[in-house]
């Protein structure tokens, strides 16, 4: 029977949480209770599992989640998340989370709040550092995910530069009609599928919300090598989507602001880590520029330099000239 609502009242939004997983059993043991404790529980949880070798499928399945298998070799940050769009059915909001994101009890309720405004197509939540995070890890989260909320439309975006399209599918909610309307996530992308969609939405007239009150605990303590690999991938992404940089601004200025902020934070909190931070900055800069010029590198080298080396196993794509591609 269809649910009735008072005259003039909007029907409650149907919410689907989508979680791509790979060997996530340890994370599931914490994430599932956190999802069950939400003040606004999702209507369905869809898990896209890449042939896990542990108990991931059994754990999520035992809690009523719908689990869809994905061939591990065919995982793609964009195409796999598009499966969530297709499989979710007639849902209103798609909340994407990574397997290691731990939502606070009111995280989903709060990230839905901006959708009261019909102009909002995307809402990104705040990510907090893990309790055992070191100073470098903590600063990265505090810098990129501040406590104050904000809204961006195309006019504000042009003033914000590349930060205008900053978003993260570690915890982000999409109005389903908006996500489908901009073509979903790009297929065959090494990373940054969330930022491409953010750019598309802005160009299509949607507003993006950053919700500082909607919080998940999610951070990584990368080694120098892992940061090198990650920034190589960022360089590859920016090379593939140079038009994103052309429309919204280059990353170099924002990178410099981050370094200045990081050194200031370390000077106050952990001055003995400043030499390490400068080493990491040099490694990230080198990796970024190598990734940005990856077309000139042999595939065997790119696989070693990249965090997502399997990206280079598939046929190469030419640089894209339109955010709608």
pLDDT over 50 (residue 8): no
Please state which of the ranges 58-72, 86-100, 304-318 shows the lowest mean pLDDT: 304-318
> Mean of the pLDDT values across residues 224-232?
98
Q: What pLDDT, on the 0 to 100 scale, is given for residue 4?
A: 36
pLDDT over 70 (residue 319): no
> Mean of the pLDDT values across residues 302-309?
96
Q: Which residue has the tokens 């919700």?
A: 211
Backbone angles phi, psi at 191, to 5 degrees: -175, 175
Instruction: Please write the tens of the pLDDT for every residue from 34-73.
Output: 999 999 999 999 999 999 999 999 999 999 999 999 999 9
Q: What pLDDT, on the 0 to 100 scale, is given for residue 316?
A: 46
Contact 67, 61 (CB under 8 A): yes
Share of the chain above pLDDT 70, in %: 93
0.85 exceeded by the pTM? yes
**Annotated domain spans of the chain:** 15-217, 224-313
Share of the chain above pLDDT 90, in %: 85
> Mean of the pLDDT values across residues 186-210?
96
Exposed, middle or buried: residue 95 (CB in 10 Å: 0-12, 13-18, 19+)? buried
Q: Name the CATH superfamily for 15-217.
A: Spore Coat Polysaccharide Biosynthesis Protein SpsA; Chain A (3.90.550.10)
Q: What pLDDT, on the 0 to 100 scale, is given for residue 103?
A: 98
List of residues 6+ apart from 17 with CB closer than 8 A:
35, 42, 44, 45, 46, 95, 96, 97, 108
Give the integer Cα–Cα distance in Å for 312 and 301: 10
- Per residue, the 3-state secondary structure of 100-117, as one string, reads CCEECCCHHHHHHHHHHC
More confident call, 157 vs 258: 258
Of the pLDDT bands very low, low, confident and very high (cuts 50, 70, 90), residue 318 is very low
Q: Quick one: tokens of 81?
A: 């998340």
pLDDT over 70 (residue 10): no
Of the pLDDT bands very low, low, confident and very high (cuts 50, 70, 90), residue 81 is very high
Instruction: Please write the tens of the pLDDT for every residue from 113-171.
Output: 999 999 999 999 999 999 999 999 999 999 999 999 999 999 888 777 788 899 999 99
Q: What pLDDT, on the 0 to 100 scale, is given for residue 248?
A: 87
pLDDT over 90 (residue 198): yes
């Amino acid at each position: 029977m269809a649910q009735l609502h008072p005259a003039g009242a909007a029907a409650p939004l149907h919410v689907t949480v989508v979680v791509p997983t790979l060997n996530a059993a340890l994370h599931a043991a914490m994430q599932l209770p956190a999802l069950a404790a939400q003040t606004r529980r999702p209507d369905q949880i869809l898990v896209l599992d890449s042939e896990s070798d542990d108990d991931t499928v059994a754990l999520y399945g035992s809690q009523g989640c719908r689990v869809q298998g994905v061939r591990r070799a065919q995982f793609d940050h964009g195409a796999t998340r598009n499966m969530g769009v297709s499989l979710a059915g007639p849902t209103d909001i798609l909340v994407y989370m990574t397997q290691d994101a731990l939502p606070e009890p009111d995280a989903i309720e709060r990230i839905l709040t901006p959708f009261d405004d019909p102009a909002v197509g995307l809402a990104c939540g705040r990510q907090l550092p893990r309790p055992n995070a070191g100073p470098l890890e903590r600063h990265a989260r505090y810098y990129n995910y501040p406590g104050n909320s904000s809204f961006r439309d195309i006019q504000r975006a042009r003033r914000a530069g590349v930060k205008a399209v900053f978003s993260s599918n570690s915890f982000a909610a999409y109005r389903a009609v908006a996500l489908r309307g901009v073509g979903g996530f790009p297929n065959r992308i090494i990373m940054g599928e969330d930022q491409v969609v953010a750019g598309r939405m802005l160009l299509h007239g949607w507003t993006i919300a950053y919700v500082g009150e909607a919080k998940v605990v999610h951070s990584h303590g990368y080694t120098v090598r892992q940061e090198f690999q990650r920034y190589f991938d960022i360089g590859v992404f920016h090379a593939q989507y140079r038009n994103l940089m052309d429309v919204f601004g280059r990353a170099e200025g924002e990178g410099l602001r981050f370094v200045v902020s990081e050194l200031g934070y370390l000077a106050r909190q952990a001055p003995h880590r400043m030499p390490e931070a400068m080493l990491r900055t040099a490694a990230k800069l080198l990796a970024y520029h190598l990734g940005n010029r990856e077309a000139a590198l042999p595939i065997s080298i790119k696989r070693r330099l990249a965090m997502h080396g399997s990206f280079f196993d598939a046929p190469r794509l030419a640089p894209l000239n339109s955010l709608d591609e």
